[in-house]
Structures are given as structure tokens and as C-alpha cells.
Amino acid sequence: MAIIDSILWSSFARISVVELIALGFVLYATYYFIYAVYATTFSPLAKIPGPLARKFSYLPCVFMSLQGRESHAVRDLHHQYGPVVRVNPEMVSFTNPTAWKEIYGYPGVKKFKKSGYRQLRPGVPDLLTANGTDHARQRAALNRAFSEKALREQEHYFQDHVHLFLTRLDERCAQKQSINITQWIEFLAFDIIGTLAFSSPFNCLEDQGYHPWVLLLLNFFKSTHWVLAARMCGIFFPLVLAFGPIRDLQKGEEHLRRSYAKVQERINMPEDEERNDFWTYISRQNEQKEGSMSIQEMEVNAALLIPAGSDTIATTVSGCLYLLLKHPNTLARLRKELEDEFVSEKDITMTRLAALPYIRAVVEEALRMYPPISGELRRVVPREGAVVCGHFIPGNTIISVYAFAACDNPANFARPKQFTPERWLQTDERPTWTRNDHLEASQPFSVGPRNCIGISLAYAETKLILARLLFRFDLELLDDDFNIENQKVYVMWKKPPLSVNLTKRSATDRKTSS
Ligand code: HEM
């Protein structure tokens, strides 16, 4: 035995580094070949339709993700392969109308747990990553801050910021400057969330420029996206990461530091009866039910709420505007609804807007065609496997609905590329050709116990911004750079400029439209 050992060792010692690398390569290639054969033929997932390469390799997914085109690619795969598609070796995507309910509608943590989310601060659960009782406790504490009552009490914050936003646009209009309105909408959305969360806006509108924190966040989305794609590369993770925007990743830490500091600043503010920010409601809940949320949990949730409640709104408002400007008849109909209802701009309130059907339909349709969270919402199948939309899916598979794929899909919506708010109307005005639409396939806020907590706020804010903007200005679209089909997604849509000319509307303009 000792002789064999020594012969083996002496032959091994004679192998050069190049030979060693070649040997490693051959071993890896052999392993990979066997794995590829398994993944495409014997694996229980092999039967799920999809391109061969995606069944055994993450590369197509990584490649498209790094280009910001994975949401579009998955949409196209569904067109080709149907409602159930193997997106990569471990993931299956569904576009069936019932998929949202089946995957996310259950008391979440019990059936399909979230997968791939990392706590912002290790050991401290935030709403996105908390499980079971922690999630229920935190959600209950935050629910108060997102109730209809809270929204009514907070309306003055929204109105004040929209007023400043329109004043800034007035100034540009007087100077006859064309503007990238997406940028101004971003200023507005970030200022609003700063006030709602901490009673301290980012002052983007005041200063007429991005606050450094906002810029940091916008870059952070892209670097997070890069890391998620790099993680799929296994042992090549460091290599892919090295080519990515690593410096922006460190900015994630800065975002956390800034959020924590803001929470402390807010906690130290003197009492004020008039203040109605998120923390007002959370502290009330904390007083009534001691320990609803610890300071550390408040800090990490602040870091979550800022991006969750800002860029999503900016995307929705920009998307609505772009689609309206491309469809003058729809815009005219919306103006008519607004101008029949409101005599002057100061009459426009969130409560009155809530009763108008057409503006709601416009927002629904824009969310369908341009869902702010367009990519995957990962859930993992429990070890014993589960039947999802009629398919048995083995344990540990990642399953997801991609909102963009489910919505831009002719099996769910007739003429999916046609902007038709009327499909959302409950009256005879709903066109006959849309009557078989599966409206439930569009769930931009997800469903179930882990859906978006900010739904009411998002609708109310979007409608208020849109209504007041359209009431005050005529907008002329200057180019088609915003074309959704050409956009990229890095966690969030990377919104190109939406260039417009503004003209102030007169009372006569309003009379003619209504
Ligand atoms: C149009 C705007 C918005 C869209 C499309 C949207 C979409 C979503 C989606 C799809 C989820 C589920 C994420 C998942 O399952 O991993 C989610 C969760 C969440 N959203 Fe929103 N969101 C919007 C606006 C907002 C706003 C305005 C806020 C707060 C100010 C907010 C706060 C949150 C929070 C805290 C969660 C985590 C909820 C939980 O896990 O219990 N979102 N959102």
C-alpha cells in the first residue's frame, strides 16, 4: 500500500501547473456534461418546457440579466413555450391567471417561502425578510401607517409637495424650456417618501437636483442586480462581480447608515400633534402594544421603505404619462373626466379622485403594461414538492411570476400591447374584444399576506400627481426615447428621459375638453 501511495504521489508531484489546470478543466467539464444530461433528461424538471440551454445552464439568464433584459426575455419565452417555462436550471416561471393566487396567495410562509432575500442588517428582520410571527408583528405595526385614515391625515404632505413640483414646472414653462419630466417626477416621489417616513424631505424639488442619497440609491439598484446575476455563476461569482459596479455596492452600506441616522433624528424630534409621518403611527402602536417594533427594526424598515415607496411611484407616474401622451384620445377622455369633476385645481383631492373610474382604469392599464416590479418574486417549493397550476414541481425548485411576462401575454389579455384602459371598466363601455381578458393576471403589487403594504398610498399618490399635472398643463411628447420595449431593468426600470414641452392650460382649454 505504501508503495502504491508513493508511486501515485511521485507521479502527482511531477504534474506541472498547466497540466493540473487542464486536469481540473477536464474534471469540471465531465461533471458538467453529466449534470447537463441529468438536467435535460432525467431531472423531474426536465419536462417543463423551455430552451435546452436554460435547462442546464444559468448563462442565458445571467447574460440577459446583465443586459437588463431578462424580464423581456422571460416574456418572450412564455410567448414561445406557453404558461409554464423553465427559466434556468432551478427556476420555473408561470403566467397562468391563477398563478399569483397559487404561489403568493397562501399564508405565505406556510406554503412557499421567500427565497434569495438577504436581511439588510444580519440578525434584524425587516418586513421583506421577516418570517412567521416576526412578519405578522411588523406588518401589524406598519399597517396603521398605511391605513386609509392615515392617508387622509397625510394628504397635506402630498398636496404641498405636488404644489412645489408644479411651481417648478411653471418656471420651466415660463422659460419655454423642454424638460425631462421623469427626473422631476423622481424628485417629487423621493421628497414625498422622505417626508412620509422621517418628516424630512430630500429637498430635491427645493434644490432642483438629486440629493446625493437619491443618486446613491438609483445606482445601488443596478449593483444589487449585478450581484444577483453574479450569484448564479457559482464558482465564477468573484470574476463576474469584479466586472460589475462594485463601488456602488458599498453605497448600500451608506444607504443603511443614512437611514439609521434619519430614524434617530426623527425619534429625537420634539412631540408635534400635527405630525403624521409613518413613525407617528408606529410609535402609537408601540405604546399600545409594547414592543411592536424595536428601534433596530425601525431602522432597517426605514431603509426598505425609502426605495420601495419612491422609485416605484416615479415609474408608475412616468409610465402613465408616456402612455397617455402616445394615445391622445385616451388622454382627452381622462381630461374630460377630470374637468367634469373639478372646477379648479384646488378642488382635486385624493378622496374625490378615488371615486373616478377612468383615472383608475388608466393607472391599472399603465401598471399592466409597465409594472414597476417587472421581474421575479422568488418563492421556494417545500421539500416534498407541490402542484402549481396543474404541474408537479419538485422540492427546492424556485417558482415565480414575472409581472411583465404575465401581463404582456395574449393568453391573458387580448391585444396586450394596446393601451386600453377601457378593459378595466366595469360597465358596458368595456370593449367586447377584452371581455375574455384575465384581469387577475395583472397583480403589480403581488397578492396574499406578503403583498405590497403601500397599495392604497401608491394609487392615491399616482392619481393626485397625474390629475393636478394634467389639469394645469398640456404636454407635448418630444421623442420616443421612453419606449418601454427598449428599456432595461436592473431590479427597477432604468427610466430613460421622458422629454416634453409644457404649455399652461387656460379655463377655455378646460371648457373645450369637457
Ligand atoms: C406602484 C407602486 C408600487 C408597486 C408596483 C409595488 C410593488 C410591490 C410588490 C410586487 C411587493 C412584493 C414584493 C415581494 O413579494 O418580494 C411589494 C412589497 C412591499 N412594498 Fe410595494 N410597491 C409599490 C409601492 C410601494 C409604496 C408606496 C410603499 C411604501 C411607502 C411600498 C412598500 C412595500 C413594502 C414595505 C413591501 C414589503 C411587504 C411585506 O413583505 O410584507 N411599496 N411592493
pLDDT of residue 294: 86
CA of 270 to the centre of ligand 1 (A): 30
| Distance (Å) from CA 389 to ligand 1 centroid | 25
Q: Which residues are annotated as a binding site for heme?
A: 452
Predicted pLDDT at 109: 47
Q: Give, for ligand 1, the residue of 138, 315, 452, 463 to mutate: max count of ligand atoms closer than 8 Å to Cβ.
A: 452
Q: Ligand 1 within 6 A of 105 CB?
A: no
In sign, the C-alpha dihedral spanning 94, 96, 97, 101 is negative
Ligand 1 closest atom vs CA 316: 1
The verdict on the CB of residue 456 being under 6 Å from ligand 1 is: no
Work out the burial of residue 250: count CB atoms within 10 Å of its CB; fewer than 13 is exposed, 13-18 middle, 19 or more buried: exposed
Contact 301, 145 (CB under 8 A): no
pLDDT at res. 120: 82
pLDDT of res. 290: 66
Q: Please give the average pLDDT of every successive group of 10 residues along the chain, which has 514 residues.
A: 65 78 88 89 94 95 94 98 97 97 76 84 88 87 92 96 98 94 97 92 93 85 82 78 72 85 88 87 78 84 91 98 98 97 96 98 98 96 94 96 98 98 93 97 96 97 98 97 97 96 86 64
Interface pTM, i.e. ipTM: 0.98
Cell of 106: 397562501
Pairing of strands 499-504, 488-490: unpaired
Residue with the nearest Cα to atom 37 of ligand 1?
A: 128
Q: Is the CB of 129 under 6 A from ligand 1?
A: no
Report the alpha-carbon distance of residue 189 to residue 332 in Å, rounded. Answer: 25
8 Å CB contact between 162 and 195? no
Q: Compute, in angstroms, the gap from residue 453 CA to the centroid of ligand 1.
A: 6
What is the number of other CB atoms lying within 10 angstroms of the CB of residue 400?
A: 23
Identify the pLDDT of residue 231. 81
- Give Cα 300 to chain centroid, integer Å: 18
> For 76-114, b where at least 16 C-beta lie within 10 A, e where not — what string?
ebbeeeebbbbbbbbbbbbbbbbbbebbbbeebbebbeb
The three-class DSSP label of residue 255 is helix
Q: Is the CB of 373 under 6 A from ligand 1?
A: yes
Q: What's this model's pTM, rounded to 2 decimal places? A: 0.93
Please give the distance, rounded to the nearest whole angstrom, from the Cα atom of residue 305 to the centre of ligand 1: 8
Ligand 1, atom 7, residue with closest C-alpha: 445
Q: What Å distances lie between residue 56 and 33, 53, 83, 133, 257, CA to CA?
A: 9, 6, 20, 37, 40
Query: Hey, whose CA ends up nearest to atom 3 of ligand 1?
Result: 312
Cα 141 to Cα 125: distance, rounded to the nearest angstrom: 14
Quick check: CB of 454 below 6 Å from ligand 1?
yes
Instruction: For ligand 1, say whether the CB of 446 is within 6 Å of any of its atoms.
Output: yes
Ligand 1 neighbourhood includes 374 CB (under 6 angstroms): no
Question: 82 near 47, Cβ under 8 Å?
Answer: no
CA of 506 to the centre of ligand 1 (A): 38
Q: What is the CA radius of gyration of the chain?
A: 26
- Ligand 1 centroid vs 309 CA: distance in angstroms? 7
Residue whose C-alpha is closest to residue 320's, from 182, 415, 436, 447 = 182
Regarding the beta carbon of 308 and ligand 1, being less than 6 Å apart is answered yes
Q: How far is the CA of 486 from the centre of ligand 1 (A)?
A: 25
Which phi and psi angles does 85 have, rounded to 5°?
-140, 140
Of the candidates 364, 321, 306, 323, the one whose C-alpha atom is nearest the C-alpha of residue 181 is 321
Query: What whole-number distance in Å separates Cα of residue 292 and Cα of residue 48?
Result: 44
∠ Cα 465 335 425 (to 5°): 90
Q: How far is the CA of 415 from the centre of ligand 1 (A)?
A: 28
Furthest-apart CA pair in the chain: how many Å? Answer: 103
Backbone dihedral angles phi then psi of residue 264, each to the nearest 5 degrees = -60, -45
Task: Please tell me the distance from the alpha carbon of residue 412 to that of residue 409, in angstroms, as a whole number.
Answer: 6
Count of other CB atoms within 10 angstroms of residue 17: 7
What number of CA atoms fall less than 13 Å from residue 46's CA on the CB side?
10
Q: In this predicted structure, what is the pLDDT of residue 216?
A: 85
- Hey, what amino acid is at 77? L
Residue 209, C-beta contacts closer than 8 angstroms, at least 6 positions apart: none
**Alpha-carbon dihedral sign for residues 333, 339, 342, 346:** positive
C-alpha neighbours within 13 Å on the C-beta side of residue 115: 18
Q: Is 377 in the pocket of ligand 1 (CB under 6 A)?
A: yes
